[in-house]
A and B are shown apart, each in its own frame.
Chain A
Amino acid sequence: MKILVCISHVPDTTAKINFTAGGAALDPNGVQFVINPYDEFGLTKALHLKEKHGGQVTVITFGDATVEATLRKALAIGADDAVRLDGVPTDPMQVAGELAAYAKDQGFDLIICGQESIDYNGGIVPGALAALMNLPFVNACIGLEVDGSNAQLLREIDGGKEQISAALPIVIGGKKGLVEESELRIPNMRGIMTARTKPLAVTPLSGSAALTAASGFTKPAAKAAVQLIDSSNLDELVRRLHEEAKVI
């Protein structure tokens, strides 16, 4: 089985985010980047499937050379080879277009994306990729098993789960549930060492156009400090809830 895992390289959730270019671009200085958590569940699932059915797990990221550290980590965790689509992505349709252009002749049985990337939270790439490749698509995927040329999937729906079957090849947008957090793998030293010699191909772009451009970002207002009012001073609490917070 040939599996492609699309990996988005995103700031760690604890990173302090700042903008440059007059507020229109993320300032990567001092930001620690990680594998998009949704994609890490997908990668781990891909490795489970490979261990069960045999095959090959390829990881792919559209990004500049800085994303290679993230791809090497995926190789150290156990992916067989990596592809970097060489450019700076700015828009989800462009990302989907480039991924589709790369994947279309490669004969992947399964293309695993994350439900969304935690940087720009577009949630667009997986669906757009499936549409461009004319493949079935299951989003919010929390379960996946393969038997022969079919996939049995579980999708999270409001308050429940939907069982789905589909013929391979298929694109999914995955999340926690594909595997559990405790099953995520920490790369070990031998994995890191073997990752040195695994192939990481740098591929030129096909020329998919970005259809949108960000013109600015606004950070949420800083959270105000918590104010503690002594329990002996209930009148003051009521006054402030009434006059300042205006909730009572």
Chain B
Amino acid sequence: MATYDKLFETLGLTDWCDVNKSGGPMSMADLLKQAKGEDASVDDTSFWETPFPSLDELNSACPAIPKSRDFTDIVENSFLSIKDPLKAVLDPITQPLSWALDGSLWLFEATPWFVLIPLLLLAVFYATRSFGLVLFVGITFLIMAVIDHYVPAIQTLSIIFVCTGFSVILGVPIGILMSRSNTLQKVMIPILDMLQTLPTFVYLIPLIFLFSVTESKLYGIAIILYAVVPVVRLTDLGIRLVDKEVLEAAHAFGMTDRQKLFKVQIPLALPNIMAGVNQTIMMSLAMVVIASLVSAPGLGVLVLRGIRNLELGVGLVAGFGIVMLAVLLDRVTKKALARVNAAQKQ
């Protein structure tokens, strides 16, 4: 007999409970109880051990009340029921992400190392105008290449580039819209907070149901959902912080809204937007190991191998490689940001 039997008796609901008795499947706990045959001894639970009247507890007294498992079933079933229409909508619009990820991976891998590394160094120089950083990046790649981590490193880099690109393409316009409407900002901030704090695995689960694990967009979406947040936030902030007098000047000289956006707001918000991009890159890097769980190639795969097979060395070296990439990307974007800042300081 269960703790709350008396309650239902007092309320005179025993009949109702029994009429609706459902022969649902037994939970593991019930099975265990049955096996131990301790069904009858429950009545003498002391007052101090009274359990919280949760669904499962009430159910054992009155079978008409659903169990907690039914609740999770409802969540699961409702997701499964909208899965197909959701997939029909999301599949085509996220397809470009798969193409971009696969295409970029192919390009990075197909380009010989003696072409790709100089190209990357050139890009670093163009963005930062700093020989020190070029040297640093060069040495990092050299070390990676010598210890045969070149391919996973550029795979990771390729994924980061594509995901950062998509984050900017999505995040900047959303940030701009947010900066224009206080209502939208109020709606978006909790969503952004949620994206940033939800444990990554939580949105991996529905994604796995929606897309097949072999599709690259699966990990692409997971990374972007997590990494897009700082670009959105800092675009919104940057545009809201644009000097009011400069905006007045834009109006006073007869700028259209478009001119105002592209000639004043975005350029003046650029230091903040770039700071957002820097954070986005760092956050995508933080996701590469988790992304490797769902088939993303790169250094994350090696880390996972280290964990799965207890190959300590492999895991640590790959982890260190990720740190090197992070430091490198951080320094390069910070330096580029500093150049923008220097050109703009008032």
Q: Do A and B come from one complex?
A: no
Question: Interface residues, chain A, CB within 8 Å of chain B?
Answer: none
Question: Interface residues, chain B, CB within 8 Å of chain A?
Answer: none
